[in-house]
Chains A and B, each alone.
Chain A
Amino acid sequence: MAFIKKIRHRLYDDMKNRLKDLRTQKAWSQARLAEHLNVSRQTVNAIETQRYDPSLPLAFTIARLFDCQIEDIFIDEGSSVEGIEKAAQ
């Protein structure tokens, strides 16, 4: 069970994001942001509360909307730069 929990954590729980900060900076409600992204308000809420990681196209759409890079919004805390480089070798 501990192994499964570890895998789940590795797959789903390592991504953090700054979507709420960016949204509040623009003084937008979740519903307004959802309208811009063409998703439901519940989806925006799930992303902001870190319960759901968006797809790559939606992540790009969010980045374009706030005029920044994906990496500025989504932070993968589970993998370090060294780890990625090691895996690529």
Chain B
Amino acid sequence: MNSVTKTKSKLTPKQALRRYFKLFFPSMTAYMVAIFIAVKLLKNNIVTGPLIYPIALLPGLAALVFLYGYFRFIWETDELQRKIQIEATLVGVAAILTFTLTWGIMEMFLPDLPRIPMFWIFPLYFVIQGFAAWRLSKKYGTGCMMI
């Protein structure tokens, strides 16, 4: 590639996607293993004392690695995919903020309403974000690279 066509990212969009999946699968596996360990050890009271804190933090650390890979992909991919992912992120954030605010207010006034554990926000956000990315990809007439 000559200097005339040089752009910001040194990677091609396909290379960026491969790099993303290289971090996605290990981090998601680590997340599931960490959840399994945390549930097994903490719910059954196998581990007690101060050690419960690092064990409870393990799934969060795995999620952090996944998020790093995701935002790195957004930065390294080409501009249309970046636009799609950022617009989808805005949709996801807006939807999840509205939902948690509404549900939180309802919880205050309706005692029979089931309490939703906070850890559901993360997967719920990515379901909405993924759906939005798919819809936006259709709008721009392109396939979503993430799906």
Contacts and interface: CB of A to CB of B under 8 A. Distances in A.
Interface of A: 35-40, 42-43, 45-46, 49, 51-52, 54-55, 57-58, 61, 64-65
A54 B9 CA distance: 15
Interface residues of B, number: 22
19 contacts: A35-B12, A38-B9, A39-B78, A39-B80, A40-B13, A40-B14, A40-B77, A40-B81, A40-B142, A42-B80, A42-B81, A43-B79, A43-B80, A52-B80, A54-B79, A58-B79, A61-B4, A61-B7, A64-B5
Contacts of A54: 79
Interface of B: 1, 4-9, 12-14, 77-81, 83, 139-143, 145
Contacts of B13: 39-40, 43
B4 A46 contact: no
Contacts of A58: 7, 79
A37 B142 contact: no
A70 B31 CA distance: 48
Given A38-B78, A61-B7, A43 B1 contact: no
B5 A51 contact: no
Contacts of B6: 38, 61
Nearest to A58: B79
